[in-house]
Structure 1
Amino acid sequence: MNAITVNATLAESFWSGLAASRLRQVLAVLVGTLALAISARIQVPFWPVPMTMQTFVVLMIGAAFGARLAVATLFTYLFEGAIGLPVFATGTGLAYMTGPTAGYLIGFLAAATLVGWFADRGLGRSVATTLLAFVAGEVVIFSLGTGWLAAQFGVEKALSGGLLPFLPGEGVKLALACALLPVLWRLSRR
């Protein structure tokens, strides 16, 4: 059995007693894509727009899996959507993926990678480093998402429809992550 390294990811710290295997990684990817699909479909009543937990799950995948496994998970999720599996909030297929949500979908991959990179370096174990990593991930998601919308519909419409209504909900998700991740790290050490 390998000892947990200082920079082990959260997932590695929970499964440290298991033999390293590709099967374990494949299972993690499938659980991650399932969590993403479920999070896209659940809407929590919120103001000014209903809140899904999709961005939260994207960033948690990065924080828990590290960059390499997060990339594999997000690529698999996007592939599932491209071939028509109902993993997105609305729509499927390549036509949907190149529409108005394309920037956000690319942002999911980039943000999970960035947060995973932070996790690989030991960030996300305290409130401060979780906040840093997740805010950076949120900036990536919404920069790419609203940037794509701005190219199609103009900056004003992109900001008023693709960014500003979502900020209150994202704040709630950031608070949840800052409360949850340090607790999960403490549990993983038991």
Structure 2
Amino acid sequence: MSSVSTTRVLSQSFGAQEGTALRLKQAALVVVGIAILAICAKIRVPMWPVPITMGTFGVLALGAAYGARLGLVTILGYMVIGMLGFDVFAGSSAETNGIAYMMGGTGGYLVGYVLATAVLGVLAARGWDRSFGWMALALLIGNVVIYVPGLAWLGTLYGWDKPILEWGLTPFLVGDVIKLALAAMLLPTLWKLTGKARG
């Protein structure tokens, strides 16, 4: 495996590459990306000890596929839509949404989503999304970036004397391993398909 620097991510490997057509492609990708994030957030797969939600899968995969700049525009657009009260987060609902929801226990994880999107975009631009091993490492780093502010906010909000790790980390590790494996296979596979399609 190699981490040789590149300047291309998956979203840059197809379609328009300059001018107005590129801007239109990027705008379309942002809209599609926000929709994907909202859909992934609402997918719940039965699993022990807690159901798997696909929100982190969507965030990390999108960050790698879009790159840091386009990924950040997309994830921030997603956050703004959630802030406006739309039911786009895993735990939000018609009754619990908007800024009040975002400032609750999930707030730190949402900050982590933004940071992880940028990190995955940077690593993908270095070619880490081209192979299973490097992509798995990138996703592991991304997961850490999500959990650090998530757990820090839980501790700040509820007190460090509470079982913060039991609330916000350990129940989700089994699901995270499964999602990590899926995303680590997805991006290199898409790159191979793109390569075959081009030639």
> What is the TM-score of this pair, normalised by structure 1?
0.92
Q: Is 71-80 or 5-14 further displaced after alignment?
A: 5-14
Q: In 1, distance between residues paired with 2:177 and 2:84?
A: 33
Other-structure match for 2:15: 15
179-188 or 71-80: bigger deviation: 179-188
**1:140 pairs with one of 134, 137, 145:** 145
The question of 1:150 aligning with 2:155 is answered yes
Sequence identity, in percent? 46
8 Å CA contact retained: 1:84, 1:92: yes
2 CA distance for matches of 1:30 and 1:157?
A: 38
Question: What is the deviation of 1:14?
Answer: 3.0
May I ask how many residue pairs the two structures share in their alignment? 186
The equivalent of 1:172 in structure 2 is 178
Query: For residue 173 of structure 2, what is the amino acid of its counterpart?
Result: L
Structure 1 unaligned segments of length 5 or more: list them: none
User: Higher mean Cα deviation, 67-76 or 118-127?
Assistant: 118-127
1:137-171 CA deviation, whole Å, 9 max, x = no partner? Answer: 00010111111101122344220011100000000
Q: Distance in 2 between matches of 1:79 and 1:103?
A: 16
Give the deviation of 1:180 after TM superposition: 1.6
Instruction: State which drifts further: 102-111 or 179-188.
Output: 179-188
Going from structure 1 to structure 2, the CA distance change for 1:17 and 1:76 (only over 3 Å counts) comes to closer
Structure 2 partner of 1:52: 53
Per-residue CA deviation, residues 59-116 of structure 1 (Å, 9 max, x unaligned), is 0111100000010001000000011111112132111111111100000000011000
Given that residues 106 and 144 in structure 1 are in contact (C-alpha distance below 8 angstroms), is that contact kept between their aligned partners in structure 2? yes
| Alignment correspondent of 1:93 | 98
Distance 1:7 1:171 in 2: 29
SS in 2 for 1:21: helix
**4+ aligned runs moved over 3 Å, structure 1:** 16-20
Q: In the aligned structure 2, how far is the partner of 1:75 from the partner of 1:137?
A: 17
Report if the CA contact (8 A) 1:59-1:115 is conserved: yes
Q: Which amino acid aligns with 1:179?
A: M
- Find the residue that maps to 1:15 and give its secondary structure: coil
Give the equivalent residue in structure 2 for 1:41.
42
Measure, in 2, the Cα distance between the counterparts of 1:131 and 1:101.
25
Letter in 1 for 2:9: T
In the alignment, structure 2 segments of 5+ residues that lack a partner are none
Q: Distance in 2 between matches of 1:189 and 1:29?
A: 23
